């Protein structure tokens, strides 16, 4: 077909990788993403540490569906659609808490934290066998599983196991889980904000080493001026395609890490504490792994919309599109349970200082993403974005764009159904539109 839109163009001979900007602006592309990506992947929903006691729950919107995740009285985690089987009302209207029962506010049906219907006002008006087959219970999400403490749901009953889906990302989730001797936990308080940009711009940005020096110049200057002996702000490292659309960049950077990279700003007391943490890592994991855990940073994408930024703090971040040019973002801080008050103070301060919505990084990133989205208003005249950096490089650097190509390649497979000549049928190509 001559009027097909090729959303991802790959020229291996010329090392060119381009993405059509229509992919960021068209409502029908977003519709296809919901159907072919968000309904067909494993999606992060919560962390196991958010459920300590029976009855602990969180209510979250994951890819347009309201979900309720609970810990039942046997200690099992469960995920339900947060809609009343009676006539549809949202059953749990709080975002988190503890409750053994959930009463629908509309007509008063009550469900246990295992999802079972426990009572109905006017029960005698219903048939005796009304709930014999569980039609009155909360409906479970088709698939729910966790790996290394990270809980995921899938709306696709037939999806591969979570472990198979995570592919090479498992090694990095294990690495994060292994920081702690007593488990990792989400700290209380979360970051919640919106960006007037397409969700895939935040995918790109979250694993983009290339922008750090220019976009975050003010933070790097701040580090230089507060770190005492810091004379260089050099970043260096590599990026890896982890399979199934997941990718990571791993690099050295000049900031301090409560696990376990000291900076002069933290003084002698901090130095002693960091040394202790480091020595414990060596005891448990050996020198090589301890060195990597302590001194390397990792920004990882778990396809399609989970980012784990293991940098000066560990941020777990998800984002969901609401419109082609609008997304909602949530960020949580993850930390070792046994961390001292001193280290926790620096971790939380880093979580806000660099990564917070009012910090050094996020406002600059948001500005960049919204600026790109504005730029896409010219998509007919300037139809493609270029994502070729480092394409011919056999050992891609942290600031190459291999990570983004890993995402876009999987995205394209899912959107096009794996067509060898990726194209969306019946959609005029950017070139033909530009010529029109
Ligand atoms: Fe929930 Fe009627 S809609 S009890
Ligand atoms: Fe950034």
User: 19 forms bridges with which residues in the sheet?
Assistant: 8, 385
Sheet containing strand 77-81, edge to edge, reads 77-81, 65-71, 56-62, 96-98
- pTM value is 0.93
Q: What are phi and psi of 274, to 5 degrees?
A: -65, -40
Classify burial at 157, counting beta carbons within 10 Å of its beta carbon; exposed 0-12, middle 13-18, buried 19 or more: exposed
Shortest-distance Cα residue to atom 2 of ligand 1: 107
Tokens of 206: 């979250």
- Between strands 236-243 and 143-147, the pairing is unpaired
pLDDT band of 353, cuts 50, 70, 90? confident
Quick one: pLDDT band at residue 3, thresholds 50, 70, 90? very low
The three-state DSSP-derived secondary structure of 59-107 is: EEEECCEEEEEEECCCCCEEEEECCCCCCCCCCCCCCEEECCEEECCCC
pLDDT per position as a tens digit, 356-414 = 888 988 999 999 999 999 999 999 999 999 999 999 999 999 999 999 999 999 999 99
Residue pLDDT, tens place only, 153-164: 999 999 999 999
Q: Which atom of ligand 1 is nearest to the CA of 120?
A: 4
What φ, ψ does residue 239 adopt, rounded to 5°? -125, 155
Average pLDDT over every residue of 173-192: 95
Pocket of ligand 1 (CB under 6 A): 84, 86-89, 104, 106-109
The H or E element that residue 43 is part of is: strand 43-47
Give the Cβ contact number of residue 293 at 10 Å.
Answer: 24
Distance CA 237, CA 400 (A): 10
Q: Among 104, 111, 117, 122, which residue has the most ligand 1 atoms within 8 Å of its CB, making it the best to mutate?
A: 104
Question: Where residue 2 falls among pLDDT bands split at 50, 70, 90?
Answer: very low
Ligand found nearest the CA of 108: 1
Give the residue, by CA position, lying nearest to ligand 1 atom 4: 107
Identify the residue whose tokens are 């139809």: 383
The Å distance, Cα 361 to ligand 2 centre, comes to 5
Question: How far is residue 143's CA from residue 225's CA, in Å, rounded to a whole number?
Answer: 49
Structure-model confidence comparison of residues 370 and 235, the more confident one: 370
Q: Which atom of ligand 1 is nearest to the CA of 104?
A: 1
- Please choose, from the candidates 89, 117, 85, the residue with its C-alpha nearest in 3D space to the C-alpha of residue 101: 117
Q: How far is the CA of 94 from the centre of ligand 1 (A)?
A: 17
The closest-lying atom of ligand 1 relative to the alpha carbon of residue 88 is 3
Residue 257 burial class via C-beta count within 10 angstroms: exposed 0-12, middle 13-18, buried 19 and up: buried
Q: Pick the ligand that lies closest to the CA of residue 84.
A: 1
Closest-lying ligand 1 atom to the alpha carbon of residue 108 = 4
Mutation to probe ligand 1, out of 106, 117, 131 (largest number of atoms < 8 A from CB): 106
| All domains in the chain, ordered by first residue | 43-163 (2.102.10.10), 178-416 (3.90.380.10)
Indicate which ligand has the atom closest to the C-alpha of 205: 2
The ligand placed nearest to the CA atom of residue 212 is 2
């Amino acid at each position: 077909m001559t009027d097909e839109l090729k959303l991802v163009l790959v020229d291996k001979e010329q090392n060119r990788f381009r993405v059509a900007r229509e992919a960021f602006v068209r409502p029908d592309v977003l519709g296809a993403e919901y159907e072919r990506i968000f309904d067909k992947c494993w999606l992060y929903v919560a962390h196991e540490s958010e459920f300590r006691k029976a009855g602990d729950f969180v209510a979250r919107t994951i890819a347009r569906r309201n979900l309720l995740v609970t810990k039942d009285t046997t200690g099992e985690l469960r995920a339900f659609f947060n809609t009343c089987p009676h006539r549809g009302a949202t059953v749990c209207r709080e975002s988190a808490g503890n409750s053994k029962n959930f009463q629908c506010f509309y007509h008063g049906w009550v469900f246990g934290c295992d999802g079972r219907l426990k009572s109905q006002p006017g029960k005698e008006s219903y048939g005796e066998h009304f709930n014999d087959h569980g039609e009155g219970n909360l409906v479970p999400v088709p698939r729910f599983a966790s790996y290394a403490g990270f809980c995921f749901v899938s709306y696709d009953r037939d999806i591969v196991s979570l472990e198979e889906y995570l592919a090479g990302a498992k090694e990095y989730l294990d690495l994060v889980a292994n920081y702690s001797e007593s488990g990792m936990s989400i700290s209380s308080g979360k970051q919640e904000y919106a960006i007037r940009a397409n969700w895939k711009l935040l995918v790109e940005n979250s694993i983009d080493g290339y922008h750090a020096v220019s976009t975050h110049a003010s933070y790097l200057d701040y580090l230089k001026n507060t770190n005492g002996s810091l004379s260089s702000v050099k970043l260096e490292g590599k990026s890896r395609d982890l399979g199934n659309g997941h990718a990571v960049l791993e690099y050295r950077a000049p900031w301090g890490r409560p696990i376990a990279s000291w900076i002069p700003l933290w003084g002698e007391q901090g130095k002693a504490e960091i040394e202790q943490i480091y020595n414990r890592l060596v005891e448990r994991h050996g020198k090589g792994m301890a060195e990597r855990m302590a001194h390397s940073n990792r920004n990882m994408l778990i396809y399609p919309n989970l980012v784990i930024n293991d940098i000066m703090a560990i941020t777990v971040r998800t984002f969901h599109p609401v419109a082609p040019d609008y997304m909602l973002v949530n960020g949580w801080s993850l930390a070792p349970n046994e961390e001292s008050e001193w280290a926790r103070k620096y971790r939380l301060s880093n979580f806000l200082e660099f990564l917070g919505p009012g910090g050094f990084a996020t406002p600059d990133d948001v500005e960049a993403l919204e600026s790109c989205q504005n730029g896409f208003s010219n998509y007919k005249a300037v139809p493609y974005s270029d994502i070729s950096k480092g394409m011919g490089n056999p050992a891609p650097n942290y600031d190459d764009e291999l990570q983004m190509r890993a995402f876009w390649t999987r995205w394209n497979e899912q959107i096009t159904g794996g067509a060898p000549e990726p194209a969306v049928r019946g959609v005029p190509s950017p070139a033909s539109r530009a010529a029109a």
